[in-house]
Structure 1
């Protein structure tokens, strides 16, 4: 395909695309990228690649490395320069193209504002839920004392443990205690806990485990990370999934927010459900957005908030039959 034909094809893409020459100057931007950045890039050809990036120096250095090594790379959550001053972040794929580079820019959903109404909403919910939780815990204790089967007593104990965990979360919200209770966390123990919980469902899903045994402990709040994993699994099952895959990987050279990390943990919850509706993909992590008539729209918003407080991110890729929610968490102290 000639470059002219390729440009005609790329010009119809919804994904932002740019061509960069061997001197790291812009050669061409497709309309989707121009619209995304809200710039009048009529005179873009000839400008340095750095004009697209909030951190021009770092971006130029990293692009130069790709050009020299002739190896494709991924940039995660890169801040872009916007003509309106609005914060825009995107995942960028760079690959050698002719004598320059090809950039694919995948804009991320806007993060929750620091003063999100979500926290206030959850505090109201926490206040309302405390009394039913106490009743649930008390009933489970009575059952545990009267049941003769060890398996049934174990299930009653699971109800008590979950009621206690939710009560702890409710107390934190009610008392405005926003600080995470950090300590060593073994992510595989949390995933096995999740698997045990899912197997107690009336119609348990089929579970597959794909763990990287080299994953070290991370520094985090185990209760809150449990909440993310449970939210992701519940959402998948309520959307109609019948099979879940729990996968862990260590990734190298990952950008989370404003920080570049040498190593990060990626936890994937993969399901075989119908996929995220196209109408919800841009607002999926916002409060009170749900694809179900009986959904609250709080689970994913809370999950992303917890990921952010751990210095991590929550991302989603979806198509019918395969939806992947990826939780990224730092395995080290972030550095610029």
Structure 2
């Protein structure tokens, strides 16, 4: 097939995408790449290969997922996301999120977005978190002092235990805040029993005013994982509180081993799956494609950071966070690699 000339390509759609840093292409109804910008050439490591005029199927490492999605987007005339899609490149298969946006009945904009969240959304999240971390240091110190004073004055063992829980949580948040203030801070990794982390989350949920019922479905044979226990606890706590905010009456936590898991470009290996299952209202349809982006919330008083932070924590551990939802049955799945 002879590649088409890149100038001019589409009347009404000038090739301005070549100036964009995001890998992009314009795809025709015939599934041919009409324009492939320089960023996409670089991402594909294609050298001097003229991708214009090539069939879209050549990029698909798991055909026909890409062409099927483009066809669906053309028919429905709406934007479609493909998460953690495998694409072919000159250096092997690579993972990316792919956004497909119809420009008209004949042309589709294809965007290739890093699957590990190191773009603008990640920058916005980091800036928001650093600002938050700076502001909470003072209140946290005050809370700790008040909790210590209460602990000394309380005689009932259950109340002293609650005061101790407050102090422990304040210390954990203070540590997290300090890390967020230092750009490039790394997780403090150690061997962690995930069930112990989940039980701390259960204790915190039980201490809330919420009447949420907490159910356990653990696999006691699971190995330990290498993780930062505080950050892992924060991710799970965010997911649990998200369920509370969605009106859940029951929260079930299920743990299982998963063989044959694959994380991006990493080889297949053993993983640990933690599922947070709730019976709340579910994820609103208009948030389905942006749920994990920072500052996106389904509540007027929501910060839109809880789920974004949870996914960031999952990814800094080499794992992934996904979900499936309908009213009355929402499952957030945290997948973590098990290392030797």
TM-score of the alignment, normalized to the shorter chain, above 0.5: yes
Query: Do the aligned partners of residues 123 and 261 (structure 1) sit closer, same or farther apart at CA in structure 2, a change above 3 Å counting?
Result: same
Match runs of 1:94-133 below 5 Å: 111-114=116-119, 116-133=123-140
Q: 2:302 aligns with which of 264, 273, 295?
A: 295
> Structure 1 residue 213: deviation in Å?
1.5
Task: Work out the CA distance in 2 between the residues paired with 1:312 and 1:327.
Answer: 7
> Structure 1 residue 208: deviation in Å?
1.2
Task: Work out the CA distance in 2 between the residues paired with 1:266 and 1:212.
Answer: 10
1:313 and 2:320 are equivalent in the alignment: yes
> Structure 1 residue 111: deviation in Å?
4.8
Task: Work out the CA distance in 2 between the residues paired with 1:250 and 1:225.
Answer: 17
> Structure 1 residue 238: deviation in Å?
1.2
Task: Work out the CA distance in 2 between the residues paired with 1:261 and 1:204.
Answer: 41
Task: Work out the CA distance in 1 between the residues paired with 2:322 and 2:114.
Answer: 9
Query: Do the aligned partners of residues 38 and 324 (structure 1) sit closer, same or farther apart at CA in structure 2, a change above 3 Å counting?
Result: farther
Partner of 1:102: none
TM-score (norm 2): 0.69
Task: Work out the CA distance in 2 between the residues paired with 1:81 and 1:41.
Answer: 21
C-alpha contact (below 8 Å) 2:31/2:56 kept by paired residues? no
Task: Work out the CA distance in 1 between the residues paired with 2:204 and 2:87.
Answer: 41
Query: Do the aligned partners of residues 177 and 204 (structure 1) sit closer, same or farther apart at CA in structure 2, a change above 3 Å counting?
Result: farther
Query: Do the aligned partners of residues 246 and 43 (structure 1) sit closer, same or farther apart at CA in structure 2, a change above 3 Å counting?
Result: closer
Task: Work out the CA distance in 1 between the residues paired with 2:318 and 2:196.
Answer: 21
SS of aligned partner of 2:267: strand
Task: Work out the CA distance in 2 between the residues paired with 1:320 and 1:254.
Answer: 28
Query: Do the aligned partners of residues 154 and 200 (structure 1) sit closer, same or farther apart at CA in structure 2, a change above 3 Å counting?
Result: same
C-alpha contact (below 8 Å) 2:247/2:280 kept by paired residues? yes
Partner of 2:30: 42
SS of aligned partner of 1:283: coil
Task: Work out the CA distance in 1 between the residues paired with 2:113 and 2:267.
Answer: 17
> Structure 1 residue 128: deviation in Å?
0.5
Task: Work out the CA distance in 2 between the residues paired with 1:308 and 1:214.
Answer: 24
1:326 and 2:330 are equivalent in the alignment: no
> Structure 1 residue 139: deviation in Å?
0.5
**Aligned length in residues:** 258
Structure 1: where are the runs of 5+ without partners? 1-35, 57-75, 91-106
Task: Work out the CA distance in 1 between the residues paired with 2:296 and 2:56.
Answer: 36
Partner of 1:151: 158
Task: Work out the CA distance in 2 between the residues paired with 1:250 and 1:87.
Answer: 23
Q: 1:137 aligns with which of 139, 144, 152?
A: 144
Partner of 1:184: 191
Partner of 2:225: 218
Structure 2: where are the runs of 5+ without partners? 1-23, 33-53, 64-82, 99-111
